[in-house]
A = this chain, B = another copy of it.
């Protein structure tokens, strides 16, 4: 495997455009220099554009998990109750974070299934939750949750609605105001196709009114929001090269147009699902809720994850993801968000076909997966 030149088809980090790479290698500059403040100002505006929202936004200097921590730790504290609706590895994390800072209850849903709306309603009626969390797009299972329906219930109970949009914002057509979200999270290395290491949030007026201002320090949202919205600045030192790369990646979304980016992501997903069908494979999640940014696919019987992904990576230079936790070895996952092109998806499925055949799975006409993708081009 050649680290400098391969086909990255993960659920993030995703491929970065050469413009993004170049933006990161600019010589050092002062983080409060007017030129850098201008970059932060544009980044703020691009973020609102990508969130498709008029709400306040801010960058956070940490990965998606930092934004999950901030979303929770600024709104609940010991004595408060929170509900984590979870059906995958990432939404589960909210339960842990909730229990770190407050008392978290959980609504555990089978992985790959959407939560039952009645079960959510019932759970919400049992307790006075100050906040409720959900993951918009569970990249561990390739499932997009019905965040709008759940949102209506959360709003009815007047709780703060925390929506992890880390692998969704910039790739799915889900607007914070339309789903009633109070805080939506974004990861820099996902649909926007920037470098790993940054996250961002879009927050409602309700969230701002209710948030605590002194529960945490580095991830204090009030400080970040005030600095960003009022001064195009950050309370602490920026991760300068990452901001430069992320700014360029956001600019590329703007140039493409957010509607076009979302449509292209959907096309990639539909092409992927057509290829999956043509190879007589099955999606892991309930198809009705299949994600447009990442596809999780069940292994056919007898195909070992290690062998399959090993061949893809070592022999063909194609990097895809496996399953996590209890579905490790049972599924493989293909990211098709951001800057990934249809040509790369074609190449990936060609390599998948070859690897499956090599490992003895031949329940498909050679070339059928690739041909299904060609239909979309």
In the complex, which residues of chain B have a beta carbon less than 8 angstroms from the beta carbon of A12?
Answer: 237
Report if A191 contacts B (CB, 8 A). no
CB-nearest residue of chain B to A93:
B217
Q: How many residues does chain A have at the interface if contact means C-beta atoms less than 8 Å apart?
A: 60
CB-nearest residue of chain B to A16:
B28
Stretch in contact with the other chain, from A61-69, A114-122, A174-182, A273-281 = A61-69
Partner among B68, B96, B97, B241 whose Cβ is within 8 Å of the Cβ of A196: B241
- Could you tell me if A24 and B237 are in contact, using CB atoms closer than 8 angstroms? no
- Could you tell me if A13 and B31 are in contact, using CB atoms closer than 8 angstroms? yes
Stretch in contact with the other chain, from A3-11, A342-350, A359-367 = A3-11
- Could you tell me if A13 and B29 are in contact, using CB atoms closer than 8 angstroms? yes
In the complex, which residues of chain B have a beta carbon less than 8 angstroms from the beta carbon of A196?
Answer: 28, 31, 237-241
Partner among B13, B31, B195, B218 whose Cβ is within 8 Å of the Cβ of A219: B218
CB-nearest residue of chain B to A313:
B33
Query: Chain A 225-238, CB within 8 Å of chain B: the 1/0 string?
Result: 00000000000111
Tell me how far the C-beta of A190 lies from the nearest C-beta in chain B, rounded to whole angstroms: 10
In the complex, which residues of chain B have a beta carbon less than 8 angstroms from the beta carbon of A6?
Answer: 27
How many Å lie between the Cα of A245 and that of B239 in the bound state?
Answer: 12
Report if A44 contacts B (CB, 8 A). no
In the complex, which residues of chain B have a beta carbon less than 8 angstroms from the beta carbon of A241?
Answer: 24, 195-197, 241-242, 245
How many Å lie between the Cα of A222 and that of B22 in the bound state?
Answer: 35
CB-nearest residue of chain B to A214:
B100
Report if A202 contacts B (CB, 8 A). no
Tell me how far the C-beta of A369 lies from the nearest C-beta in chain B, rounded to whole angstroms: 23
State the number of copies, please: 2
- Could you tell me if B30 and A13 are in contact, using CB atoms closer than 8 angstroms? yes
Tell me how far the C-beta of A50 lies from the nearest C-beta in chain B, rounded to whole angstroms: 19
CB-nearest residue of chain B to A67:
B218
- Could you tell me if A3 and B29 are in contact, using CB atoms closer than 8 angstroms? yes
- Could you tell me if A237 and B64 are in contact, using CB atoms closer than 8 angstroms? yes
- Could you tell me if B242 and A239 are in contact, using CB atoms closer than 8 angstroms? yes
In the complex, which residues of chain B have a beta carbon less than 8 angstroms from the beta carbon of A73?
Answer: 216-217
With contact pairs A237-B189, A238-B197 given, residues A27 and B5 touching in the complex (Cβ less than 8 Å): yes
Report if A327 contacts B (CB, 8 A). no
In the complex, which residues of chain B have a beta carbon less than 8 angstroms from the beta carbon of A189?
Answer: 28, 237, 240
How many Å lie between the Cα of A242 and that of B22 in the bound state?
Answer: 14
Report if A260 contacts B (CB, 8 A). no
Report if A125 contacts B (CB, 8 A). no
How many Å lie between the Cα of A100 and that of B61 in the bound state?
Answer: 19
In the complex, which residues of chain B have a beta carbon less than 8 angstroms from the beta carbon of A61?
Answer: 62-63, 66, 197
Known: A3-B33, A65-B217, A66-B218. 14 other contacts (CB 8 A): A1-B35, A8-B28, A10-B30, A13-B240, A16-B27, A16-B28, A24-B241, A25-B25, A28-B189, A30-B319, A195-B241, A196-B241, A197-B237, A197-B239
